[in-house]
Amino acid sequence: MKEAELDLIYRSTRNREETATASQAILRGLAVEGGLYVPSYIPKLACSLAELSAMSYQQVAYEVMKLFLCDFTEEELKYCINHAYDQKFDTENIAELVRKDDAYFLELFHGSTVAFKDMALSILPYLMTTSAKKNQIQEEIVILTATSGDTGKAALAGFADVEGTKIIVFYPKHGVSPIQEKQMVTQRGDNTFVIGIEGNFDDAQTGVKKMFSDGELARTLAKNGYRFSSANSINIGRLVPQVVYYVYAYAQLLARKEIQENDLINVVVPTGNFGNILAAYYASLMGLPVAKLICASNENKVLFDFFKSGCYDRNREFILTSSPSMDILISSNLERLIYRIAGDDDEKNLQLMQELSKTGTYRIDEEMRSNLDIFYGNYADEKETAEAIKSVYEHVGYVMDTHTAVGKSVYEKYREETGDETPTVIASTASPFKFTRSVMNAIDPAYDAQSDFSLIDTLSEISHVAIPAAIEDIRTAPVLHDRVCKTEQMCDVVMEILGIQH
Ligand SMILES: *Cc1c(COP(=O)(O)O)cnc(C)c1O
């Protein structure tokens, strides 16, 4: 409580004494020893919900982000917001809230790569270059990213040709959809590099994390005029912009008189790395009236098991599903929740994270568990996910992507279990055009005979939704990246790209 009177700063989840300003935390990505930066306290919304309901997306973004990014001036932050949330989005509202069936779908896929990661990755390059200026950074920023599909393309699109940056993206060669892969390997921009690895997403993420925490590597880089930074969802420059759309969604419900001021809502989030739902949790801690945060997993249901038992256990088979962006066994951002429910206890968190890296598992105590009441976890298997797509399409003509469908299916389970009729917002994390084959197969397996591109036309016809420009583009774009490497070679590849001898 005392701290709330002081300026908000950032602390490492593994060492409270390691602090940073917002701009420093954005530049560093990870804290030393693998800790994650967390705000020293969660600020309360400074304007009323009624005031927010009269604001544009950009205005809400400013009202929310200024509370977290305290060392940015008003001019700097507005510059970042206005350059990020512009005509790159195919709707003026930036995020669309549509009522379909029994829920409100918060469509977060109107940006340049038709997935929700655009919401944060369109602003991160501006936050980062602004942060570099504020901190008199001379070195060129090298963005190093591991992706399960969507982050990679959204980061590439955000950073392409941004002066003073290079971006290197690693993705699991056999773990992303054909359209996801095509989107990445056709990326233009002389500062962009895309590499497939022979391994899964966790291998890619572990390899990237290893490079980030290698002190000697950092010195070698610095000597050559480079420094690493992260565009992964562990960067607070990703997390903070994601808080915005939950506040905006509530404000929109209020503006349309779907709810009264201070009415509670539920939020459903199809979850992988736990970044998106953590942002919703932060929004609730800021004072947004949220009753339940419904964490939806696919068959990689580590989080469902965690919420049920208090035991996190990554020792299990990794399953490739039709919602690949959620095929994750180590949800990195969960560490920020663990730190929080431990009462901002860095030592307790460190101990649990060490157990996780040593044994692949940890258990939280009863006191920590008692702080998880706002969360409800469940999962949808492949069959249930497909059924949700088909059923919503048949009932209301709306086509969900596979990730959103996991959310919808879990929401149905929640309602059946609880009978809760609270108005509910489902975070819709990707356009169905990004996962066309799985989506069309769910509606009718006969579609499987069509080619990928003909399926896109058919989807447009049956859903009465125009093909997004981002999808149209890759039909004709040439492949510009074809490098593949083994997990152990990731560091060598980075050195080669940067032209560093070692
Ligand atoms: C990244 C992603 C998710 C998972 O979000 P997290 O923040 O990692 O939990 C869900 N759906 C889609 C389409 C994504 O790209």
Residues 6+ away with beta carbon under 8 Å from 177: 149, 324, 434, 435, 437, 438
In this model, does residue 353 exceed pLDDT 60? Answer: yes
The helix (H) or strand (E) run that includes residue 194 is strand 192-198
Whole-angstrom Cα distance, residue 210 to residue 442? Answer: 39
**Ligand 1, pocket-test mutation among 403, 404, 409, most atoms within 8 A of CB:** 403
Q: The tokens 């590597």 sit on which residue?
A: 217
111 lines ligand 1 (CB under 6 A): no
Cβ-contact 443, 462 below 8 angstroms:
yes
Residue from 63, 59, 38 nearest 288 by CA: 63
Q: The tokens 């968190």 sit on which residue?
A: 349
273 lines ligand 1 (CB under 6 A): yes
In this model, does residue 102 exceed pLDDT 60? Answer: yes
Residue nearest to atom 11 of ligand 1 (CA): 429
403 lines ligand 1 (CB under 6 A): yes
Active site residue 408: no
If pLDDT is split at 50, 70 and 90, which confidence band does 201 have?
Answer: confident
Indicate the pairing of strand 165-172 with strand 375-379: unpaired
Indicate the pairing of strand 96-100 with strand 103-107: antiparallel
In this model, does residue 177 exceed pLDDT 90? Answer: no
Higher pLDDT: 429 or 475? It is 429
- Residue 385 burial (CB count, 10 A): 30
113 lines ligand 1 (CB under 6 A): no
326 lines ligand 1 (CB under 6 A): yes
Q: How far is the CA of 121 from the centre of ligand 1 (A)?
A: 13
Q: How high is the pLDDT of residue 30?
A: 84
Across the strands, what pairs with 103?
100
Cβ-contact 407, 270 below 8 angstroms:
yes
Whole-angstrom Cα distance, residue 106 to residue 91? Answer: 13
In this model, does residue 202 exceed pLDDT 90? Answer: no
Indicate the pairing of strand 424-428 with strand 103-107: parallel
What kind of fold does domain 96-113+237-465 have according to CATH?
Answer: Rossmann fold (3.40.50)
pLDDT digits (tens, 9 = 90+) for 285-321: 999 999 999 999 999 999 999 999 999 999 999 999 9
Strands (E), 384-446: 424-428
Burial (0-12, 13-18, 19+ Cβ within 10 Å), 99: middle
If pLDDT is split at 50, 70 and 90, which confidence band does 1 have?
Answer: very low
Q: How far is the CA of 272 from the centre of ligand 1 (A)?
A: 5
Quick one: CA dihedral 151, 154, 158, 161, positive or negative?
positive
460 lines ligand 1 (CB under 6 A): no
324 lines ligand 1 (CB under 6 A): no
Q: How far is the CA of 35 from the centre of ligand 1 (A)?
A: 21
Indicate the pairing of strand 311-313 with strand 361-363: antiparallel
Burial (0-12, 13-18, 19+ Cβ within 10 Å), 448: exposed
Residue nearest to atom 2 of ligand 1 (CA): 325
**Ligand 1, pocket-test mutation among 110, 112, 119, 150, most atoms within 8 A of CB:** 150
Across the strands, what pairs with 465?
none
Q: How high is the pLDDT of residue 3?
A: 46
In the predicted model, what is the mean pLDDT of residues 471-477?
88
DSSP calls for 196-259: EEES-HHHHHHHHHHHHT-HHHHHHHHHTTEEEEE-STTSHHHHHHHHHHHHHHHHHHHHTTSS
Backbone angles phi, psi at 427, to 5 degrees: -70, 115
Q: How high is the pLDDT of residue 2?
A: 43
Whole-angstrom Cα distance, residue 314 to residue 309? Answer: 14
pLDDT digits (tens, 9 = 90+) for 439-469: 999 999 999 999 988 999 999 999 999 999 9
Dig out the tokens for 145 from the structure: 């990213």
DSSP 286: T
Q: How far is the CA of 173 from the centre of ligand 1 (A)?
A: 18
Q: The tokens 């060490």 sit on which residue?
A: 354
Alpha-helical (H) ranges within 2-161 are: 22-28, 49-53, 57-68, 74-84, 118-121, 124-134, 150-159
37 lines ligand 1 (CB under 6 A): no
Residue from 401, 324, 340, 343 nearest 375 by CA: 340
| Rounded alpha-carbon distances, angstroms, from residue 238 to 129, 259, 416, 488 | 14, 29, 34, 28
Burial (0-12, 13-18, 19+ Cβ within 10 Å), 366: exposed
Q: How far is the CA of 368 from the centre of ligand 1 (A)?
A: 25
Q: How high is the pLDDT of residue 452?
A: 86
Best mean pLDDT range from 54-63, 134-143, 327-336: 54-63
Q: How far is the CA of 299 from the centre of ligand 1 (A)?
A: 14
User: Residue 271: CA atoms inside 13 Å, Cβ hemisphere, count?
Assistant: 34
- Domain assignments of the chain as residue spans, ordered by start: 96-113+237-465
Cβ-contact 265, 422 below 8 angstroms:
yes
DSSP calls for 29-62: -BPGGG-BEEESSPPPPSS-HHHHHTS-HHHHHH
DSSP 108: -
**Ligand 1, pocket-test mutation among 202, 277, 325, most atoms within 8 A of CB:** 325
Cβ-contact 39, 69 below 8 angstroms:
no
Q: How high is the pLDDT of residue 108?
A: 98
Mean pLDDT score across all residues of the chain: 94
pLDDT digits (tens, 9 = 90+) for 211-253: 988 999 999 999 999 999 888 778 999 999 999 999 999 999 9
Q: How high is the pLDDT of residue 162?
A: 83
3-state secondary structure 242-285: HHHHHHHHHHHHHHCCCCCCCCCEEEEEECCCCHHHHHHHHHHH
Active-site residue among 2, 44, 66, 117?
117
